[in-house]
Amino acid sequence: MGILSRSQEAASESVFKKQVKPNLKEKDGFKHVIMITSFSKWMNQNFGVETKYTIQIEHILNAMQKLGYEIENIEHSTLKNQGLFGDMEGFHTLITYK
């Protein structure tokens, strides 16, 4: 894993501990949702895997499952022309879980 990948995973771990985990509902058998917002990697002009998004969302999903949550569904929407210079895509990821 490269330096950039480790940095992206560390950022995801911080978001999980400080924002996601405190907002997860207790396991009660009901379906719940949590929305994660993120940006694409800078200069995302190539055809290929969006590694930043993949690493960060994957880390959050794994952390939720390690806590015993069942992921029911994942949906996302994309917002074009985001960021300071309008050269990034914004992502909203809605995670439905039990």
Provide the percentage of residues in the chain whose pLDDT is more than 90: 51
The token pair at 76 is 């996302």
Q: How confident is the model at residue 38 (pLDDT cuts 50, 70, 90)?
A: confident
For residues 45 and 53, which has the higher predicted lDDT (pLDDT)? 53
Residue 66 has pLDDT above 90, yes or no: yes
Question: Burial level of 95, CB count in 10 A (0-12/13-18/19+)?
Answer: buried
The token pair at 65 is 């499952």
The token pair at 40 is 């694409």
